[in-house]
Amino acid sequence: MTYSQPQIDLSPAVSDEVRQTTCYMCACRCGINVHLKDGPDGKKRVAYIEGNRDHPVNKGVLCAKGSAGIMQINAPSRLKAPLKRTGPRGSGQFEEISWDEALELATNWLKPLRETAPEKLAFFTGRDQSQSFTSLWAQAYGTPNYAAHGGFCSVNMAAAGIYTMGGAFWEFGQPDWDHTKMFVLFGVAEDHDSNPIKMGIGKIKARGAKVVGINPIRTGYNAVADDWYGITPGTDGLLILSLIHLLFKAGKLDLTYLARFTNAACLVNEDPKSPQHGLLLRDEDGKPLVIDRNTGKPAPWDAQGIEPDLATTWRHKGVTHRPVLHLMADRYLSEDYAPEKVATRTGIPAARIRQLASEIARTAFDEVITLDRPWTDFRGHRHETMTGRPVSFHAMRGISAHSNGFQTARALHTLQIILGAVETPGGMRFKPPYPKPATAHPKPHCKVTPGQPLNGPHLGYPQGPEDLCLTEDGKPARIDKAFSWENPLSAHGMMHMVISNAHAGDPYKIDTLFLYMANMSWNSSMNTEGTMKMLTDMDDNGDYVIPRIIYSDAYSSEMVAYADLILPDTTYLERHDCISLLDRPICEADAVADAIRWPVIEPDRDVRGFQSVLCDLGHRLGLPGFVGDDSGAKYKDYADYITNHIRRPGIGPLAGWRMGETGLQDGRGSANEGQLDSYIANGGFWMSHVPDEAAYYKPFNSAYQDWAVKMGFYDSPQPYVFQLYAEPLRRFQLAAEGEGSHQPPDYLRPRIMALMDPLPIWYAPMIDGEKDPAEYPIHALTQRPMAMYHSWGSQNAWLRQLHGHNPLYVPTKIWEENRFKEGDWARVTSPHGSITVPVAHMAALNENTVWTWNAIGKRKGAWALDDKAPEATKGFLLNHLIHELMPPREDGMRWSNSDPITGQAAWFDLRVKIERSAAPTESQPAFPPIKAPVAKGPSTLAWKVGK
């Protein structure tokens, strides 16, 4: 019998050309191969997108978002031309104008402002990946009111990491995937390091290492975790301190590591009457002292050859000084942190807390990893091997977006450090140019001089009260009140407070709100409905309370309708970008790397990359640094800036292919006109490997320090030790106790004294008060689907088929209590408001927690979706339940719904109650459709660009 089958082409041409650039379907910044085919008109069209195998971030793999990029660049929601508002704000009525007209208008608004009161411009960027550039622009303009979105994202994680050990997770550090034997993942925001974490989990599972998930919700990474701890939201810090308690009690501490590489041996002033109480004993040069075990005498912490002593108490000028480790023992040996004491609150039984602690202890101390790699530390000790304790951790917004998130993240880093599991094999590893301690970062600047630049960078890491951004009368200098006594360490600013404060004129009124890529009238604001009102509110004269709003976005988002002038941005495949070492780099633990985007296709609309527009606007405004010698534009576009900007001698936005005296070189060098071409030829990125002997112990390792100087991360070796005891926090406490000339307002003293503890503490989320709020017993969370990025996914025809609906997921206990059944709706109420939404049952969930997918709900009329799209009819936001202010206190004041230390938006502190509801016609609250500046999309798609 013969069998015949068709002949098929097994080797079709894949594409006409492959262009390699950097993805921007989320914040991960993977390398992509964009396959192009020639269209009938001769123009290149995107046929297929895949991961770039050579790229350090994703090594060839690509997530759903990345592969769906083709539907993003074709999305009907793309803005087409600059727009000027013609109807009332919020109506969505616009006329298209030319770029010249748009830029003249912006110049006419902003130029007089700069000459008189530059602080009246508030320039805030959202999920911006060009902050080193946008901040430079804002600094040249002279306003103190600049930040990106970190304040409502994960500043707690970043700030706690920087203050404790010179870096946190994601852009700062990663587990040692090659060696770790136990990976413990605390609540996470999926798009932060998404592909690397998936790759890492796959890699360690393949070799049988253990994955532990600590998260109220068992989806995604937690679904594949070998052990899951369904913790109650906001109590991660308490669980971590209980683990620390057990490890202290059992002496499972890496004492050598603590003595040498942390400030555990530094000496704390114990005299309550001393103005130095709680500060570290220092020598005349201001260097903290330790007792050298070789001599028994004090020595500067970094003196050559010393062995810091963890045990000895020292009396100096009649004052007892004790090593930091003793203070830690006093605190963490307390039975307050015993598993039995924290079990109810955390929702984790005491036996399971002990199990987790003992598994961590066993892995760290019984499964030690030794690499045969000699290295020399900054005190001149040569070590023949590198020794690691293979327990690694990762966390992001899940623990960060609480009002106790800073101390929780500090607690997590403390746990890592007492195990000796940071910058050691199998633990966590930093990614160059991190680690970099808080003292090596700038301090915040806020001094305004009309017509002049700001006196320095806006954002930074205060070391004490004297570094706050206050006016001469002690009021907040910034519109968001960042770096004020209310939120002293708000290292990323507080974007979530800008509109509310500007509307209230507190601390002052502004003139122009200039936003980029931030959907503030919808999913990026707390109190969404209130925010819409603030944006449209008028004063008695009929003028808008926030007089002018300029907005740049690539898409027809909900925010567009609320601006007066729209500057349409390009999509990610149509633009230049640099993912710079000056900013949020893409490095790996073993390599320093940066990357670009470049226009792999040309825009088919009258749109411009926002950064190029800022170059133009900077020139029109005459901003220093944006005007060339011939008084023309210094940078004709962003590509020109990327190539030619010099930040400090030898250092520019990109570190690869810089011009040296004898030719091209890495790190330092002058500008090279061919630099972008070199990046393009290399796949859109540059990478240089960390030398082997410098690969671990980076802050303490002389070889690393020397290499870092050579690469230009800093200009001289800057070894440091981890700050278990965070002295800057203690300085704020001292001020609150009445010490020094910089004094907080009285009403904030108790809070600063209680919460700015130099050793990690746990306190209940602020909104809870001191106890579980009986009226609102349920925690409500959002999390981001792996296949969607904030509001962006719904405009993508492929991705919205994966996540077009977002029911409220309800755990079994609450489901049964309310007798819910499939298809039911519920009214969910917080102290701030109510929503009525569809519910679904989910068992793999903390029993007191409900949750939904983030930002699936859309406003009718936005994103070029049909008004009947499920995202607009059944979709919903929890934002309506969250206010940017907490309920009034006894004195009538309303504090920001933020971490009192960093100002991080406390999204996940939300408490609700829930009851069954009759099914409404659509999710409540519902808003009328907004008129869109773009047409609706086609009904049928069959996107084949080849023949």
Partner 1 sequence: MTQLPPLSAVKLGLVIDLDTCVGCHACVVSCKGWNTENYGAPLSDQDAYGANPSGTFLNRVHSYEVQPAEGHAQLVHFPKSCLHCEDAPCVTVCPTGASYKRVEDGIVLVNESDCIGCGLCAWACPYGAREMDVAEKVMKKCTLCVDRIYNDNLPEEDRVPACVRTCPAGARHFGDLGDPESDVSQLVAERGGFDLMPEQGTKPVNKYLPPRPRDRSEDVDILAPYLAPVTDQPKGFVGWLDKALSALPGGK
Contact set for partner 1, span 834-853 (CB under 8 A): 842-845
Site string for partner 1, 13-32 (x = CB under 8 A): xx------------------
**Residue 334 touching partner 1 (CB under 8 A):** no
Q: Which one of 399, 621, 786, 905 is in contact with partner 1 (CB under 8 A)?
A: 786
**Residue 663 touching partner 1 (CB under 8 A):** no
Question: What interhelical angle do 610-620 and 131-141 show, nearest 10?
Answer: 20
For residue 65, the surrounding DSSP H or E stretch is helix 64-67
**Residue 937 touching partner 1 (CB under 8 A):** yes
Near partner 1 by CB under 8 A, which window of 47-55, 99-107, 137-145, 904-912?
Answer: 47-55
Residue 187 Cβ, how far from partner 1 at the closest point, in Å? 15
- What contacts 262, CB < 8 A, 6 or more positions away? 324, 417, 721, 722, 723, 724
CA-based torsion, 861, 864, 865, 868: positive or negative: positive
Q: Which one of 186, 248, 638, 700 is in contact with partner 1 (CB under 8 A)?
A: 248
Q: Which one of 54, 80, 178, 249 is in contact with partner 1 (CB under 8 A)?
A: 249
Choose between 309 and 757: whose C-beta lies nearer to partner 1.
309
Near partner 1 by CB under 8 A, which window of 46-54, 137-145, 415-423, 465-473?
Answer: 46-54
Choose between 325 and 614: whose C-beta lies nearer to partner 1.
325
Closest residue by Cα to residue 553 from 567, 539, 564: 567
Near partner 1 by CB under 8 A, which window of 483-491, 518-526, 570-578, 799-807?
Answer: 799-807
Choose between 774 and 942: whose C-beta lies nearer to partner 1.
942
Choose between 62 and 563: whose C-beta lies nearer to partner 1.
62
Mind spelling out the 3-state secondary structure of 591-624? Answer: EEEEEEECCCCCCCCCCCCHHHHHHHHHHHCCCC
Looking only at the bridges linking them, the beta strands covering 512-516 and 548-553 are parallel
CA-based torsion, 791, 797, 801, 804: positive or negative: positive
| Euclidean distance between CA atoms 587 and 433, whole angstroms | 8
The CA-CA-CA angle for residues 493, 499, 503, to 5°, reads 130
Q: Which one of 41, 42, 206, 663 is in contact with partner 1 (CB under 8 A)?
A: 206
Near partner 1 by CB under 8 A, which window of 93-101, 323-331, 403-411, 879-887?
Answer: 323-331
| Euclidean distance between CA atoms 127 and 608, whole angstroms | 18
Q: Which one of 250, 681, 754, 893 is in contact with partner 1 (CB under 8 A)?
A: 250
Q: Which one of 61, 454, 621, 703 is in contact with partner 1 (CB under 8 A)?
A: 61
Choose between 365 and 610: whose C-beta lies nearer to partner 1.
365
Choose between 374 and 450: whose C-beta lies nearer to partner 1.
374
Q: Which one of 19, 114, 149, 252 is in contact with partner 1 (CB under 8 A)?
A: 252
Choose between 109 and 700: whose C-beta lies nearer to partner 1.
700
| Euclidean distance between CA atoms 182 and 558, whole angstroms | 43
| Euclidean distance between CA atoms 105 and 314, whole angstroms | 66
| Euclidean distance between CA atoms 339 and 328, whole angstroms | 18
| Euclidean distance between CA atoms 783 and 851, whole angstroms | 7
Contact 496, 898 (CB under 8 A): yes
| Euclidean distance between CA atoms 768 and 402, whole angstroms | 11
Choose between 54 and 692: whose C-beta lies nearer to partner 1.
54
Residue 48 Cβ, how far from partner 1 at the closest point, in Å? 5
Choose between 658 and 790: whose C-beta lies nearer to partner 1.
790
CA quadruple 227, 233, 238, 240: dihedral, nearest 10: 40
Q: Which one of 166, 230, 347, 875 is in contact with partner 1 (CB under 8 A)?
A: 230
**Residue 462 touching partner 1 (CB under 8 A):** no
Contact 394, 223 (CB under 8 A): no
| Euclidean distance between CA atoms 339 and 336, whole angstroms | 9
**Residue 11 touching partner 1 (CB under 8 A):** yes
Near partner 1 by CB under 8 A, which window of 246-254, 277-285, 670-678, 736-744?
Answer: 246-254
**Residue 272 touching partner 1 (CB under 8 A):** no
For residue 257, the surrounding DSSP H or E stretch is helix 255-261
Q: Which one of 277, 326, 605, 751 is in contact with partner 1 (CB under 8 A)?
A: 326
Backbone angles phi, psi at 37, to 5 degrees: -125, 150
Closest residue by Cα to residue 484 from 497, 475, 495: 475
**Residue 784 touching partner 1 (CB under 8 A):** no
Dump the DSSP string for 880-927. Answer: GG--SBPPP-TTS---BSB-TTT--B-GGG-EEEEEEEPPPSS-BS--
Restricting to residues 536-595, name those near partner 1 by CB under 8 A.
none
Q: Which one of 113, 495, 808, 865 is in contact with partner 1 (CB under 8 A)?
A: 865
Contact 139, 146 (CB under 8 A): yes
Restricting to residues 65-124, name those near partner 1 by CB under 8 A.
65-68, 70, 76
**Residue 936 touching partner 1 (CB under 8 A):** yes
- What contacts 110, CB < 8 A, 6 or more positions away? 121, 141, 512, 514, 617, 621
How would you classify residue 505: left for phi > 0, otherwise alpha for psi between -120 and 50, otherwise beta? left
For residue 334, the surrounding DSSP H or E stretch is none
| Euclidean distance between CA atoms 749 and 758, whole angstroms | 16
Residue 204 Cβ, how far from partner 1 at the closest point, in Å? 10
Residue 352 Cβ, how far from partner 1 at the closest point, in Å? 8
Near partner 1 by CB under 8 A, which window of 403-411, 679-687, 698-706, 930-938?
Answer: 930-938
**Residue 649 touching partner 1 (CB under 8 A):** no
Residue 401 Cβ, how far from partner 1 at the closest point, in Å? 22
Restricting to residues 678-737, name those near partner 1 by CB under 8 A.
none
**Residue 856 touching partner 1 (CB under 8 A):** no
Tokens of 679: 């990046």
Q: Which one of 80, 84, 203, 277 is in contact with partner 1 (CB under 8 A)?
A: 203
Residue 802 Cβ, how far from partner 1 at the closest point, in Å? 5
**Residue 661 touching partner 1 (CB under 8 A):** no
**Residue 255 touching partner 1 (CB under 8 A):** yes
Q: Which one of 106, 140, 238, 259 is in contact with partner 1 (CB under 8 A)?
A: 259
Helices (H), 487-558: 498-504, 528-536
For residue 490, the surrounding DSSP H or E stretch is none
For residue 589, the surrounding DSSP H or E stretch is none
Choose between 478 and 860: whose C-beta lies nearer to partner 1.
860
Restricting to residues 278-317, name those near partner 1 by CB under 8 A.
293-294, 307, 309-311
Contact 500, 535 (CB under 8 A): no
Choose between 227 and 640: whose C-beta lies nearer to partner 1.
227
Q: Which one of 96, 227, 270, 336 is in contact with partner 1 (CB under 8 A)?
A: 227
User: Which amino acid type is present at position 820?
Assistant: F
Residue 275 Cβ, how far from partner 1 at the closest point, in Å? 27
Q: Is 290 helix (H, G, I), strand (E, B) or coil?
A: strand
**Residue 370 touching partner 1 (CB under 8 A):** no
Residue 659 Cβ, how far from partner 1 at the closest point, in Å? 33
Q: Which one of 172, 798, 851, 907 is in contact with partner 1 (CB under 8 A)?
A: 798
Q: Which one of 367, 606, 866, 922 is in contact with partner 1 (CB under 8 A)?
A: 866
Q: Which one of 122, 184, 325, 517 is in contact with partner 1 (CB under 8 A)?
A: 325
Q: Which one of 39, 628, 745, 938 is in contact with partner 1 (CB under 8 A)?
A: 938
